[in-house]
Structure 1
Amino acid sequence: MKNTISERVADFLKNYPPFNALDSKQLEQLSLQVTIIHKESNSVVFTEKEEPHAYFYVVNKGAIALTKKDSSQILDICDEGDVFGLRPLLAQESYKLEAKAYEETILYAVPIKDFKPLALENKRVGNFLIESFASNTRNPYSIKHRGKLYGVTANTNDNNPSTKILDLQPVRYSTDLVTCTAGTKIKTVATTMAKHNVSSILVMNGDLPLGIITDKDLRQKVATGLFPITGSAKSIMSSPVITYPKELTVAQAQMAMMKSNISHLVLTEDGTTDAKAVGILSKHDVMLALGNNPAVLLRAIKRATDSKRLRSIRHGIMTLLQGYLEQNIPIGLVSKIISELNDASTKRIIEITLDSMEKKPPVDFTWLTMGSQGRGEQLLNTDQDNAILFEDVPEENLEETRAYFLQLGSQISKELNTVGFEYCPAEMMASNPSWCHSLSEWKHVTSHWINNPGPEEILLSSIFFDYNVTYGSKALADELSHSIFDHANHYPQFLTHLASGAMQNPSPSGFFRDFLVEQDGEHKDFFDLKLRALMPIIDAARVLILSHSIKSINNTAERYEKLAELEPNNRELFLACSYASKALLKFRTRQGLLHNDSGRFIALDQLNKEEKIKLKRTFKTIKEIQSLIEVRFQVKNLLR
């Protein structure tokens, strides 16, 4: 007789992570051990510092509020499908929060002793749980908990970026083998190769590779008259064949071909000639794979002669980005690689444009990229934000010099648009006179923003102060940076205004952890990921790093990592912010690639439960960092 209660439990759990990663048999066995618990409103599940239970919990109906004992403030609310009470499973510690029913609630208590073996053997389950546990530890990769999942030491090689990069380009080989036997006539071999439009044919003995014949063999051995076309395949084949296992990287394939001076590799089940042939790899296949290798893309960018060629290379960069995300390469590493390629593309456009100008630049200049590209966070084809900073010239030559650089800026922006970078809707580009100044003028403009911090000045500061040198004189940018920091130090009230600006972006969530969506306009009912989640954490990093007078760190995650060094007492929060910024950037990039847009506006009904949980997990960190800057920079006093 079937256990209908356990069936209902399994039917519920299979819709939510991490249980959706279990197979039906595992879920069925686990559901038999689950205990159903009913909690009245305000009744306690566990208290702070209570000894760990033998279970962790899943909300079936209702909601659970998580609070600190010394505060009445609700830190988190778990609703349908949410997992909580993981500390006994993951850290073998007493509870750090109190869990209380927010309303009448039904819980599923999952026994740790039955669940733990499943989690240990299923990587997807383990990853989800350690991230869920991080909701209360803030940083899922904190030193304290790193490598201690379920009390088992993790394999540190899994987190080694260099190991992942080695496997980043798995070889793609053809599995449609064109074959013949040793006795097949050479004329038939040639006809078969032409019919299938291939450059090689395998000579087989049953399923085993006996030899290989390539185009080169036909040219050098048959077309020259050394062997008659009526001869057999055996007479011209290369044998024994050089075989490799099918688990091969592009780098290994390159080395194998160079080592043996061959253009084709035969792949077998175990890499030997005594195993079944499963595929064949040509030098052409390797070259195609290398088209999405960052080093090859960088060389192609440097050799490009026009923006149309760069646009086609840009497609390769997007393919590379897609591959990185599919293989779950750390987003920090991905950002560095894609940013280098973006900067190289911009630099090449500038070089091409300079060559097309009738005159050379009258003085040294610097091309500054701002916004997401300036921070090294522009992974998708978002709009341009750039400026020109040129060397001081005598007053009588200023406008003539500016005219030259405006013309240059206009042409560069046009070419960047051809490559795929949209024009800035607010015209914050070097083609605009407001973003094309001499060094002295930029010093005056930025000092005005700092000394007269109205809403517009704060907005402009927020955009401009993330600038990065993409081309030209770094010395000019360094001198401007020194001027900005000097003025900010002499007018500390500016930081309060900048912090106030960082508080203007609306909260990502409302009552009961609901996403706050757009109420009207083109994106009605969509969640604005940039405005409500990314910008608050980016803006907070900017004002905090500026308050420490730290130069040359523009990337948001790296800013928080530096802040964690500078302020050990806030280390955990800053590392959580670093993690959240990378998680949000990765989420936006995935959404942008999925929908072929900027990834800014998210249709919540198209997200699954796991995606919503991961997104919501960052909201608490956003709230905490905004609270910190509100207190530190006395924003409330400014608003009075």
Structure 2
Amino acid sequence: METSEQREFVDKVHDLPLFKGVSDEEFTSLLAACKLTYYRRSEKVDYFQTPNEGLFIILRGMAEISITDDAGTSIILEAIQEGEIIGFSNIAYYLGEVNRPLDRHHLKMEVLEDSYCLQIPFSVVKQRLAYEAVRDALLKNMSTRLANVYASLGEQAKSAEEWGVSTPYVRRVEDLMNTPAITVYEDAAIEEIARIMVERSISSLMVVDQHERLTGIITEKDLVQRVIAQGSANSFIAKEIMTKKLYTVSRHDYYYEVLATMYKYGVKHLPVVEGERLVGVVTLSNLLSKRDRGSMGILKTIEEASFNRLPVVKAAIYDVLSNLISDDISTIHTLEIITKLYDRLARHCVQSAIQALEQQGLGLPPVPFGWYQMGSGARGEQFMLTDQDHFLVYADVDEENAEQIHHYFAMLGEEIVVHLEQAGYTRCFGKMMSSEAIWRGSISQWQQRLRTWALKATDNYILLGYNFLSFRFLYGNASLDKHFSHMVQEQLKKSQTFLYYMAQQEQNKPIPQASQSFLALFKGKGKREVIDIKKHALFPLHHCLQILGVHKNIINRTPLQLVDGLVEKGELSVGFADDIRHAYEVALRTRIQMSWKKHLRNEKITTEIQFESLRQWERDELRTMLTTVHTLQTHLLAKL
């Protein structure tokens, strides 16, 4: 039986220009050739590897499209919302052109919120393009989208010319908004609204009452759905077609707060208000076109850093971190920004290591490979450079060439360590680095290694397992990464006993409940009450999420992504997941603030906190955080 949701999707597809005018029988036949796919928030999709994949239409949700060249350079093209089409770049191919414009580049789609997308194959697109009305409708859609893309790229090119100019890394709405906002009164006619939009080249208008108070917004989408679709434009005024439910922002809000609001509510235009006064409007295009402006200087520093200048990058990133902390940006947003910079630095080090081997006469990597981070870097928690945690994986090789290939990757592993060390990453005391034989190998070698860890399950192997399970792919061949990740998932399915032993270790490291003598387990030297934020909070939280993730076949995720995945799988309730996210942010914020202060005072950085130095509300917050971690630990032990 067809569900209401399915019926909703079918109706949306039927109303698309691509399917206008077809009979019910023909529509059913065309729809049967299409494929409906669900994508999770933050999921990344490689798109248009072949032209036969056709077009994508977002039926529900939102995604961001970027284009990446072979060197890994990525540029944001646009954000796609409900009802919009992805894949216009292939229309020329469908109309008979031999070459595709993106054959030497890669389109990537990153899902910004849980989304349903309909894939329309080449066969269906080609069939519908035979009709003039369809071609005209697509041409209008493409023209608008092309204008938006050109505007975005133009802004990014303009920003690129400003490298070296001192601009704030974190911007507020007043730096981004269009002002003054273009307004119409509630009784304005449709003809006037359309004329203003065309003359001003804008895609939204603010609606105000006689007292100049904001009462609504009209976008191009409103015009299409509420006017053009009705076929009687003369009978409408602004008040009747405007969107009355408004989401507004302040001119003092930060860039990332505004972007989060847009993604959360699925809007592209936000009025900027000061009290009851309308002072401007900020659009998604504003944000996307300027998103990298403040980071241009640091990105240039990273990309152009020679081996001798790698230490300069650390100082530049620390300057960004200092600004974020002093501006009181949320911990999660701070780490999102800093992680992207560290990721870029790490990739640069790997690429430079490959070039160094080539200059030594060893050539390029002989087989596809992948380089993975572990530890805080993989979890997206690294705010200051720490020790190295990483490993190498490469394709299986035949016996004849095995020795030569193993030797190459041994050399590459050591060269990567040297470059990372030069950039400021200290060598791992436990030698969990790709320079060590145990942390590099072919896919088959890694499979045997995981099997050994699971069968023996010693304390040392469990420790290795914990570190390994935080892995995140950062550089190399994407197809090999998929093969490797699939192998890991299959191997872990066969290793339930190993998971049980990992859970048992958590049972031996209990987190105190608030109802207990809370500080009883946190006694330090001289009977001072202390807590180790890593040992007593972050590590137990990470381990519990890792084990639950493996239990539900979820790997290669950051902690917050694991929480989202466990909610989706029904393992965690929405309310409990919110508590975990809050506890996670409290633990991270506490660690960052404490460590940064010690860094500024040039003191040894530790993760221990003396309770006597905290204010009462800070103690209460830590109590609540630890109670949540204890509850998560109890939940895990009940499962396994």
The 5 A counterparts of 1:306-455 are: 306=307, 308-357=308-357, 358=360, 359-360=362-363, 361-455=365-459
Q: Give the Cα–Cα distance (whole angstroms) in 2 for the partners of residues 250 and 546 of structure 1.
A: 36
Match of 2:462 in 1: 458
- Cα distance 1:616–1:405, how it changes in 2: closer, same or farther (>3 A)? same
Tell me, yes or no, if the aligned pair for 1:364 and 1:473 is still in contact at 8 Å. yes
- Cα distance 1:551–1:622, how it changes in 2: closer, same or farther (>3 A)? closer
User: Match of 2:541, as an amino acid?
Assistant: I
Q: Deviations over 1:345-396 (max 9, x none)?
A: 0111112222121112222221111111111111222211011112222234
Residue 488 (1) aligns with residue 495 (2): no
Residue 167 (1) aligns with residue 172 (2): yes
- Residue of structure 1 aligned with 2:582, choices 570, 579, 584: 579
Q: Give the Cα–Cα distance (whole angstroms) in 1 for the partners of residues 494 and 292 of structure 2.
A: 51
Match of 2:518 in 1: 513
User: Match of 1:601, as an amino acid?
Assistant: E
Q: Give the Cα–Cα distance (whole angstroms) in 2 for the partners of residues 568 and 460 of structure 1.
A: 25
Tell me, yes or no, if the aligned pair for 1:505 and 1:535 is still in contact at 8 Å. no
The 5 A counterparts of 1:224-303 are: 293-303=294-304
Q: Deviations over 1:127-162 (max 9, x none)?
A: xxxxxxxxxxxxxxxxxxxxxxxxxxxxxxxxxxxx
Match of 2:210 in 1: none
Q: Give the Cα–Cα distance (whole angstroms) in 1 for the partners of residues 520 and 380 of structure 2.
A: 28
Query: Which protein shows a greater Rg?
Result: 1
User: Match of 1:371, as an amino acid?
Assistant: G
Tell me, yes or no, if the aligned pair for 2:170 and 2:294 is still in contact at 8 Å. no
Q: Give the Cα–Cα distance (whole angstroms) in 2 for the partners of residues 388 and 568 of structure 1.
A: 32
Match of 1:623 in 2: 630
- Residue of structure 1 aligned with 2:609, choices 587, 602, 610: 602
Match of 1:540 in 2: 544
Gaps spanning 5+ residues in structure 1: where?
1-163, 172-246, 252-289, 634-640
Secondary structure, in 3 states, of the residue corresponding to 1:352?
helix
Question: By how many angstroms is 1:505 displaced?
Answer: 3.4
User: Match of 2:623, as an amino acid?
Assistant: K
Q: Deviations over 1:293-321 (max 9, x none)?
A: 33431232112222x43322222222222
Question: By how many angstroms is 1:568 displaced?
Answer: 7.3
Residue 592 (1) aligns with residue 599 (2): no
Q: Give the Cα–Cα distance (whole angstroms) in 2 for the partners of residues 515 and 352 of structure 1.
A: 50
Match of 2:561 in 1: 558
Q: Give the Cα–Cα distance (whole angstroms) in 1 for the partners of residues 495 and 420 of structure 2.
A: 37
User: Match of 2:483, as an amino acid?
Assistant: E
Tell me, yes or no, if the aligned pair for 1:527 and 1:601 is still in contact at 8 Å. yes
User: Match of 2:356, as an amino acid?
Assistant: S
User: Match of 2:303, as an amino acid?
Assistant: K
Match of 2:271 in 1: none
Q: Deviations over 1:429-459 (max 9, x none)?
A: 1111111111110111112223432322221
* Total equivalences in the alignment: 355
Secondary structure, in 3 states, of the residue corresponding to 1:512?
coil
Tell me, yes or no, if the aligned pair for 1:294 and 1:337 is still in contact at 8 Å. no
Match of 1:102 in 2: none
Q: Give the Cα–Cα distance (whole angstroms) in 1 for the partners of residues 423 and 295 of structure 2.
A: 18
Q: Deviations over 1:225-259 (max 9, x none)?
A: xxxxxxxxxxxxxxxxxxxxxx99999xxxxxxxx
Secondary structure, in 3 states, of the residue corresponding to 2:475?
strand
Q: Percent identity?
A: 24
Q: Give the Cα–Cα distance (whole angstroms) in 2 for the partners of residues 504 and 323 of structure 1.
A: 41
- Cα distance 1:569–1:592, how it changes in 2: closer, same or farther (>3 A)? closer
Question: By how many angstroms is 1:488 displaced?
Answer: 2.2
TM normalised by structure 1 equals 0.51
Q: Deviations over 1:499-550 (max 9, x none)?
A: 22333435367842226336469x9965321111110111111111111112
Tell me, yes or no, if the aligned pair for 1:294 and 1:341 is still in contact at 8 Å. no
Question: By how many angstroms is 1:165 displaced?
Answer: 4.8
Match of 1:75 in 2: none
User: Match of 1:613, as an amino acid?
Assistant: D
User: Match of 2:502, as an amino acid?
Assistant: L
- Cα distance 1:442–1:168, how it changes in 2: closer, same or farther (>3 A)? farther
- Cα distance 1:588–1:368, how it changes in 2: closer, same or farther (>3 A)? same
Q: Give the Cα–Cα distance (whole angstroms) in 2 for the partners of residues 562 and 569 of structure 1.
A: 9
Q: Give the Cα–Cα distance (whole angstroms) in 2 for the partners of residues 411 and 169 of structure 1.
A: 46
Secondary structure, in 3 states, of the residue corresponding to 2:573?
helix
Secondary structure, in 3 states, of the residue corresponding to 2:517?
helix
Secondary structure, in 3 states, of the residue corresponding to 1:557?
helix
- Cα distance 1:480–1:319, how it changes in 2: closer, same or farther (>3 A)? same
Q: Give the Cα–Cα distance (whole angstroms) in 2 for the partners of residues 623 and 607 of structure 1.
A: 22
Q: Give the Cα–Cα distance (whole angstroms) in 1 for the partners of residues 584 and 539 of structure 2.
A: 10
Q: Give the Cα–Cα distance (whole angstroms) in 1 for the partners of residues 447 and 425 of structure 2.
A: 28
Gaps spanning 5+ residues in structure 2: where?
1-168, 177-250, 256-290
Secondary structure, in 3 states, of the residue corresponding to 1:437?
strand
Q: Deviations over 1:61-82 (max 9, x none)?
A: xxxxxxxxxxxxxxxxxxxxxx
Deviates more, 1:316-325 or 1:424-433: 316-325
Q: Give the Cα–Cα distance (whole angstroms) in 2 for the partners of residues 434 and 498 of structure 1.
A: 20
Q: Give the Cα–Cα distance (whole angstroms) in 2 for the partners of residues 353 and 477 of structure 1.
A: 20
- Cα distance 1:512–1:520, how it changes in 2: closer, same or farther (>3 A)? closer
- Cα distance 1:541–1:348, how it changes in 2: closer, same or farther (>3 A)? same
Secondary structure, in 3 states, of the residue corresponding to 1:425?
coil
- Cα distance 1:348–1:169, how it changes in 2: closer, same or farther (>3 A)? farther
- Alignment root-mean-square deviation, CA: 3.3
User: Match of 1:364, as an amino acid?
Assistant: P
Write out the 4+ residue segments of structure 1 that deviate beyond 6 Å after TM superposition.
168-171, 247-251
